[in-house]
Amino acid sequence: MKSEKAVGVLVNIAVYILAFAIGIIPYYFLVENNAHPLISMFIFTLSATLVMYICCVIFKNTSIYDPYWSVAPLVMAIIHMVTYKLYNPNAIIFAVLVFLYAFRLTRNWYLTYKGLDPKYEDWRYAKFRNKLPRWKFEVVNFVGLIFMPTLVVYAALIPGLLFMEIVSFNPFTIFGLILMIIGPTLELIADYQVHSFIKDNNDHSKVCDRGLWNYSRHPNYLGELTFWFGIALTLLIAKVELWYFALGYLPMLLLFIFISIPLMEKHNIERRPNYLEYKKHTSMLFILPRRK
């Protein structure tokens, strides 16, 4: 198992280096030809995602794409900073907070990662793969499982990229920056509590109701949404006339409310007999007192 994991991690690292290396080629071509920074970055993330998709097909495992959610925002923030020499306080603080977010999420991926073998593919991807004919699955894989999340992450990151370009520091942006800290902190606590619960309970049909999970069915998703809302809020406060770019947060919100959470809820109901009872008494997202 350890050797499988080690090989898988090395392959993932190689795939990501390849994806970002190829993505940087059209990016710098557009930069040299004075394309808008947001358009250049959009082509970068699309190009890198295309490479990711090809590798997922080759290895028959869409879970290779999973770390993209955490790694890509940091890579894009750094590329944006270096390309346009954005070394102002806003850019530096933002890059540091995105690094902390990326570190937490990538660490959690590493702790739960088992290997490259298709049998370890995430249950959500495997469900589509086993249910659909090959060509239909590849359409869903290409459009829904890989490119849609890329577009959602990019749209939600746009306010942050614009915030990095603002030279003057508005002290009120601290509210957005605090949310960017609170989000990953919630996720880190939720990760620790659920991993501890799993370690202490051999019966995986039990529902984790430890700590934050006693007051929210999805505290990890709450942390994720809090982080991305913090990014939108920083731009709204720093430059309110660019409010329409902050709307990039909406696809992220809709993705979790209408896709990620319902999928996880259904999965938990199927696997855990007492989940419906837990659901009656526990808030879906926000951390609230248990219902009687």
Q: Assess whether pLDDT exceeds 90 at residue 199.
A: no
Q: What is the share, in percent, of the chain residues with pLDDT greater than 90? A: 95
Mean model confidence pLDDT for the chain: 95
| 245 C-beta neighbours (distance < 10 Å), count | 19
Supply the pLDDT for residue 42. Answer: 98
Alpha carbon distance 203, 113 (integer Å): 20
Q: Assess whether pLDDT exceeds 80 at residue 144.
A: yes
What is the number of alpha carbons within 13 Å of residue 132 lying toward its C-beta?
14
Q: At what angle do helices 123-131 and 261-271 cross, to 10 degrees?
A: 80
Among 161, 167, 149, CA closest to 38: 161
pLDDT band, residue 200 (cuts 50/70/90): confident
Q: What is the share, in percent, of the chain residues with pLDDT greater than 70? A: 100
Supply the pLDDT for residue 1. Answer: 65
Mean pLDDT of 129-133: 94
Alpha carbon distance 106, 255 (integer Å): 20
Supply the pLDDT for residue 162. Answer: 98
Write down the pTM of the prediction: 0.95
Q: Assess whether pLDDT exceeds 70 at residue 77.
A: yes
Q: Assess whether pLDDT exceeds 90 at residue 138.
A: yes
Give the residue extent of every domain in the chain. 1-168, 170-292
Supply the pLDDT for residue 63. Answer: 96
